[in-house]
Structure 1
Amino acid sequence: MQATTDGGAGAPMAAALPPPPARRTGRSLLDWAGFLIGGGMLGWLVYAGAQSMGYNWQWYRLPRQVYRVIDGEIVWGPLARGLTVTVEITLWAAPLALAIGLVTALLRLSRSWSGHAVATVYLELVRNTPLLVQMYLFYFVLSPMLGVDRFWTGVLCLAVFEASFISEIIRGGVLSVPRGQWEAASAIGLKPGFVYRDVVLPQALPVMAPPMTSAVVNLIKNSAIVSTIAIFDLTNEARNVIADTFMSFEVWLAVAAIYLSLTVSLSAFAAWLEHRLGRRSA
């Protein structure tokens, strides 16, 4: 039966309408005000701390650590070179972590006792030991045994570590698909591979997208640990710049801003992708 208003008209009730735009605008303004106030207070604390230390700000020297123009040609500085290495490590480690995580999730979902046991032992070992210890084990133990250089050692360690979280994301996404979908696919004679491809994954992807983005963001942040095995990523290059210029505040603030821009950009792209996937599955 259709709900009516007090005047007896057949229009839907006002309660079903979205909230007024003015209320949403007011809330948005409050959010922005809180963000700006918090950012201003943080900036003031950093500035006041530097002043109390008698710190000499040298922002004018920072751009040359990113790039310089010599004889009409751009020469990239140490921070730009370090950022390139960080992005390269992430681009190699992310798909490798996805592959390892997918295999681990399938083993956990399988009916094989041995496969389930192997996946469980791997998850318990990796998720309950510090990443720094794992990096040293890979570098000082596995790297000499396998003959792998330090770059690929860092990529492999980060991939193995992050895959332990990605596997649970994939497993949770697969289990979120209603059991009736599996039974219907089996009833029409689909093989398991086609069931995953045509039935399960299209429904699981919108569920997995947000936590998968968080996993990649964590991978970007955790990539800084490769500096401990002498890989000249953004963090290691920043240390070298500070050792040469003594610009501790400027360099670390710039590095933090670079990492923040990477993660925020990735989160924005993931939000757009999640919206597209949600519209397709609707």
Structure 2
Amino acid sequence: MKRVSFAEFGGPDVLQLTDAEEPHAGPGQIRVAVRAAGVNPVDWRVREGQFRKTQPIELPAGVGLDASGVVDEVGEGVEGIEVGDHVFGRGSSTYAEFAVLSAWARMPEGLTFEEAAGYPSVVETALRVIREAGVQSGQTLLVSGASGGVGSAVLQIARERGITVIGTAGAANQDYLRGLGALATTYGEGWPGRVRQLGHVDAALDLAGSGVIRELVELTGDPQKVISIADLDAPKLGVRFSGVTGSVPDALAEAAGLVSRGKLHIPVEKTYPLAEAAAAHIDSRAGHTRGRRVMVI
């Protein structure tokens, strides 16, 4: 089968499309014929070696965590899923023609494979950081970098829970944020003042890692009310870096329910074939996404 892998840490040029042995489902796992794979910032962070001291990996290594596809192997002990089912979930080395998933859910009716591949990690992350921020119905959450995949999920989940969201994004994405129910403003010079004009902030999320931690702490008045998923230096300012994954099966089940009820939709901004994985990583690292970027197999 074809898969994207890298034999050394480095820039996008280390990614190679190679022939590899097909993986097989072990106990508690399923294998899918991959139709699409989500592109997440963690993918290029791993490729760059940002986590090699805390989470060593053996090289050469595959790329990707999220996928959607058609089940073609069911591991020992797995119940409630059959060969031929359409699923989306999380596993490893998903930029490939076949991938093993350790957490999954059936795809909701009406969701395309491309859309479904964009949900697993971003919805798990969105649910986790909303929980860690401790924000409740009736309160206001500030989201820095709100137009990407995680931001899109946070805005919609928060709205469903009765939480007001102030979102920052580029000028081109203001209407997009408003369409998801947020109070929108641009980043750039003077942005904290523009946020204050929109209302009091009870908690804040840094989703883009664009050097705004100090301002978020000032706006909330407490570093414990700020969560970052993108700035590895956040703990130096007393802010929690959220990098420990919660329950992916629970997140997938909640995502499927929200999608089925019409309460959650994350658009796909751009798709790439496996041969253009490097371009996908370059675009992902540049940010300014509206929704998700997805590999299509």
Provide TM-score, normalisation by structure 2: 0.20
**Larger Rg belongs to:** 1
Which structure is higher in helix share?
Answer: 1
Which structure is higher in strand share?
Answer: 2
